[in-house]
Structure 1
Amino acid sequence: MSLLTAKRLEKHYGHHVVLENLNFEVDEGEFVTLVGASGCGKTTFIKMLLGTENASKGELALDGCPIPNEPGPDRGVVFQKYSVFPHLTVLGNVMMAEELEASPLLGKSFGRARRRAIENARARIDEVGLSHALNKYPHELSGGMQQRLAIAQALMMRPRILLLDEPFGALDPGIRQDMHALITKLWAEQKLTIFMITHDLKEAFELGTRLWVFDKTRHDPQAPEAYGATITYDLPISRERPATALTEALTRGGVKTHIEETLL
Structure 2
Amino acid sequence: MSFITVNKLWKQYGGAVVLENLNLQVRQGEFCTLVGASGCGKSTFLKMLLGQEQPSRGELTLEGEAFPAEPDRNRGIVFQRYSVFPHLTVRENVLMGLELEQKPFLGRLFGRARRDALARVDAMIDAVGLGHARDKWPHELSGGMQQRLAIAQSFIMRPRVLLLDEPFGALDPGIRGDMHELILKLWRDTGTTIFMVTHDLQEGFYLGTRLLVFDKVRNDPQQPEAYGATITYDLPIGETSRKVFESIESSVSATARNLSA
Instruction: For 2:226 and 2:243, locate their aligned partners in 1 and report how far apart those are by CA, in whole Å.
Output: 37
Matched residue SS, 2:97: helix
Identity within the alignment, %: 67
Contact 1:34 1:214 in 2 (8 A): yes
Cα shift at 1:203? 0.7
* Residue in 1 that maps onto 2:39: 39
Q: Which amino acid letter does the alignment assign opposite residue 217 of structure 1?
A: V
Cα shift at 1:107? 2.4
Instruction: For 2:153 and 2:125, locate their aligned partners in 1 and report how far apart those are by CA, in whole Å.
Output: 9
Contact 2:7 2:23 in 1 (8 A): yes
Contact 1:237 1:245 in 2 (8 A): no
Instruction: For 1:116 and 1:223, locate their aligned partners in 2 and report how far apart those are by CA, in whole Å.
Output: 58
Cα shift at 1:122? 1.3
* Residue in 2 that maps onto 1:103: 103
* Residue in 2 that maps onto 1:188: 188
Instruction: For 1:153 and 1:106, locate their aligned partners in 2 and report how far apart those are by CA, in whole Å.
Output: 19
* Residue in 2 that maps onto 1:55: 55
Cα shift at 1:101? 1.1
Stretch deviating more after TM superposition (186-195 or 85-94): 186-195
Q: Which amino acid letter does the alignment assign opposite residue 7 of structure 1?
A: N
Cα shift at 1:244? 5.2
Instruction: For 2:36 and 2:172, locate their aligned partners in 1 and report how far apart those are by CA, in whole Å.
Output: 22
Instruction: For 1:51 and 1:27, locate their aligned partners in 2 and report how far apart those are by CA, in whole Å.
Output: 19
* Residue in 2 that maps onto 1:26: 26
* Residue in 1 that maps onto 2:117: 117
Contact 2:205 2:241 in 1 (8 A): no
* Residue in 2 that maps onto 1:256: none
- 1:224 equivalent to 2:224? Answer yes
- 1:157 equivalent to 2:157? Answer yes
Cα shift at 1:243? 6.2
* Residue in 2 that maps onto 1:140: 140
Q: Cα distance 1:18–1:93, how it changes in 2: closer, same or farther (>3 A)?
A: same
Instruction: For 1:111 and 1:226, locate their aligned partners in 2 and report how far apart those are by CA, in whole Å.
Output: 58
* Residue in 1 that maps onto 2:65: 65
Stretch deviating more after TM superposition (131-140 or 120-129): 120-129
* Residue in 2 that maps onto 1:214: 214
Cα shift at 1:110? 2.6
Q: Cα distance 1:168–1:27, how it changes in 2: closer, same or farther (>3 A)?
A: same
Instruction: For 1:244 and 1:146, locate their aligned partners in 2 and report how far apart those are by CA, in whole Å.
Output: 30
Contact 2:202 2:245 in 1 (8 A): no
Contact 1:208 1:239 in 2 (8 A): no
Aligned length: 246
Matched residue SS, 2:202: helix
Instruction: For 2:48 and 2:113, locate their aligned partners in 1 and report how far apart those are by CA, in whole Å.
Output: 32
Matched residue SS, 1:28: coil
Instruction: For 1:21 and 1:244, locate their aligned partners in 2 and report how far apart those are by CA, in whole Å.
Output: 33
TM-score with structure 1 setting the length: 0.89
Instruction: For 1:195 and 1:97, locate their aligned partners in 2 and report how far apart those are by CA, in whole Å.
Output: 21
Q: For residues 102-124 of structure 1, give each alpha carbon's deviation from its aligned partner in whole angstroms, at most 9, with x where no partner exists.
A: 22233222333322322221121
Q: Cα distance 1:144–1:245, how it changes in 2: closer, same or farther (>3 A)?
A: closer
Contact 1:160 1:192 in 2 (8 A): yes
Matched residue SS, 1:199: coil
Cα shift at 1:194? 1.0
Instruction: For 1:242 and 1:152, locate their aligned partners in 2 and report how far apart those are by CA, in whole Å.
Output: 24
Contact 2:216 2:230 in 1 (8 A): yes
Q: Which amino acid letter does the alignment assign opposite residue 59 of structure 1?
A: E
Contact 2:34 2:197 in 1 (8 A): yes
Q: Cα distance 1:114–1:244, how it changes in 2: closer, same or farther (>3 A)?
A: closer
Instruction: For 1:168 and 1:132, locate their aligned partners in 2 and report how far apart those are by CA, in whole Å.
Output: 22
Contact 1:238 1:245 in 2 (8 A): no
Instruction: For 1:128 and 1:180, locate their aligned partners in 2 and report how far apart those are by CA, in whole Å.
Output: 12
Q: Cα distance 1:178–1:245, how it changes in 2: closer, same or farther (>3 A)?
A: closer
* Residue in 2 that maps onto 1:253: none
Instruction: For 1:243 and 1:125, locate their aligned partners in 2 and report how far apart those are by CA, in whole Å.
Output: 28
* Residue in 2 that maps onto 1:262: none
